[in-house]
Amino acid sequence: MFRFDPYSPAIDADPFSAYKILRDEHPCFWSEEAGMWILSRHADILRALYDWETYSSARGNLMTELPNRAGNTLGTSDPPRHDRLRNLVQFAFAKRNLDYIEDHIRTTARGLLDGFKGVSEFDFVEDYSAKLTVKVLFRLLGLPEGDHDRVRDYAVKMVQSDPITRQKGPEHIAAFEWVRAYAADVIALRRANPGDDLISQFALAEIDGDRLDENEVLLTVTTLIMAGIESLGGFMSMFAYNMANFPDARRALVADRSLIPDAIEESLRFNTSAQRFRRNLQVDVELHGKTMKKGDFVCMAYGAGNRDERAFENSDIYDIGRKPKGHLGFGGGTHACLGTAIARLTTKLAFEELFTAIPEFTQVDRLLPWMPSSTFRSPLRLVLAKG
């Protein structure tokens, strides 16, 4: 009998063969282990993403949700509350274009790469993507220098689950509480002393007399720390994994940097770091001969939809020339990712610099330690050898 357990280490390591069985044989599948329905076809997921009245986010969007998030954040609320939050946050984002941060990303990337000059191997996750992402997010949000490592450790911890029970343990919840308390301190600091950073903009953003209240600013900042640090760091690690495992693609990008943006889109399709998010049904839904009941949770398996042959020809082939329109790497519809521009820019600059410093590299360990998470997929360590 076919089973799909999004909490299993086997699925962390390779979900793609199970995804194919889901799409072809069980397009609307009840997973006992997850206690929810799994949607795996591109068209079904896309339809659900635009129908928030049926597929609600207000009971949480992470596969294993953290306490006090559901109903309160951008990612975990429905319109009209969601749209109001999103408009105010977008307004704050739009106050600054990203030009000012470009130099910072490049200089930080170069500084990190300088540190690899005398070495033959380096851990892409610990030594490059994690450090770069944190520094970019710190600059974007205006978080104080010096707290980088602690904030990153807690932000990564809060999206993980216990490797045995696969549920949130006390240390994951404590990490979330720590990040919330940290964000509260920084917001108080910025309110007293506003700067040109995003947190100050959130605190000041106003549309038709409407502002984010104290708690909304707090949850928005906490969400951005989590969404930014884990999703972006994880995605850059997946892109490096592809560059190590598809050397012809890497050499094409080294020869012509203008191909990098298309390769990023193909990686977001082929093996995105944001694999699965959940919704909650507000009414009964009939799909592919099954009845999903009001109140049931439904998993949107973005990673499975991205490999759907019905949407992408030769979907299991990594093709940097594909230009995959409509991929689900950033989700879609009502809750489509708000950080797409900064994510694309940071990844592009990080790899332009990497290809200049280290054009040839290979993956050292064949078996990678994958993050224990039912929502995200990325390696905890990715050691690359130069040359």
Minimum distance, C-beta of residue 289 to ligand HEM, in the bound complex (Å) = 26
In this complex, which beta carbon is closest to ligand HEM, that of residue 101 or of residue 364? Answer: 101
Across the chain, where does the E strand assignment appear? 28-31, 36-39, 55-56, 121-123, 206-207, 210-211, 276-281, 285-287, 290-292, 297-301, 361-363, 383-386
For residues 27 and 303, which CB has a smaller minimum distance to ligand HEM in the complex?
Answer: 303
For 186-204, letters b (16+ CB in 10 Å) and e give bbebbeeeeeebbbbbbbb
Q: Which stretch binds ligand HEM (CB under 6 A): 29-37, 211-219, 226-234, 359-367?
A: 226-234
Out of 129, 201, 272, 374, the residue judged to bind ligand HEM by CB under 6 A: 272
Selected range binding ligand HEM among 25-33, 153-161, 228-236, 243-251, rule: CB under 6 A: 228-236
Cβ closer to ligand HEM: 90 or 364?
90
Q: Residue 90: which of 327, 346, 344, 335 has the closest Cα? A: 335
# of chain residues touching ligand HEM (CB under 6 A): 26
Nearer to ligand HEM, 171 or 196 (CB): 196
- The two counts, helices (H) then strands (E), for the chain are 15, 12
Q: Which is nearer to ligand HEM, 166 or 335 (CB)?
A: 335
DSSP string, 264-323: HHHHHHHH-SB-EEEEEESS-EEETTEEEPTT-EEEEEHHHHTT-TTTSTTTTS--TT--
Question: What is the distance between the alpha carbons of residues 345 and 139, in angstroms, rounded to a whole number?
Answer: 14
Minimum gap (Å) between residue 174 Cβ and ligand HEM? 23
- Under rule CB under 6 A, residue 227 binds ligand HEM: yes
Residue written as token pair 């306490």: 67
For residue 302, the minimal CB distance to ligand HEM (Å) is: 6
**Could you tell me the smallest distance in angstroms from the CB atom of residue 135 to ligand HEM?**
13
Q: Length of the chain in residues, anyone?
A: 387
For ligand HEM, the closer CB: 345 or 364: 345
Q: Cβ closer to ligand HEM: 270 or 302?
A: 302
Give the contacts of 239 (CB within 8 A, at least 6 positions apart). 263, 264, 267, 347, 351
Distances (CA, A) of 95 to 33, 195, 199, 343: 45, 13, 12, 18
**Going residue by residue from 327 to 366, which x/- string records binding to ligand HEM, judged by CB under 6 A?**
--xxx---x-xxx--xx-----------------------
- Residue from 6, 60, 75, 379 binding ligand HEM (CB under 6 A): 75
Give me the least distance between CB of 227 and ligand HEM, in Å please.
Answer: 4
Does the protein bind ligand HEM through residue 277 (CB under 6 A)?
yes
For ligand HEM, give the closer residue by CB, 171 or 241.
241
Closer to ligand HEM at the Cβ: 174 or 320?
320
Residue among 118, 150, 121 at smallest CA distance from 134: 150
HEC readout, 68-113: CCCCCCHHHCCCCHHHHHHHHHHHHHHCCCCHHHHHHHHHHHHHHH
Could you say which residues in the range 195-224 bind ligand HEM, by CB under 6 A?
223-224
Q: What is the contact surface with ligand HEM in residues (CB under 6 A)?
A: 57, 61, 74-75, 86, 223-224, 227-228, 231-232, 235, 272-274, 277, 302, 329-331, 335, 337-339, 342-343
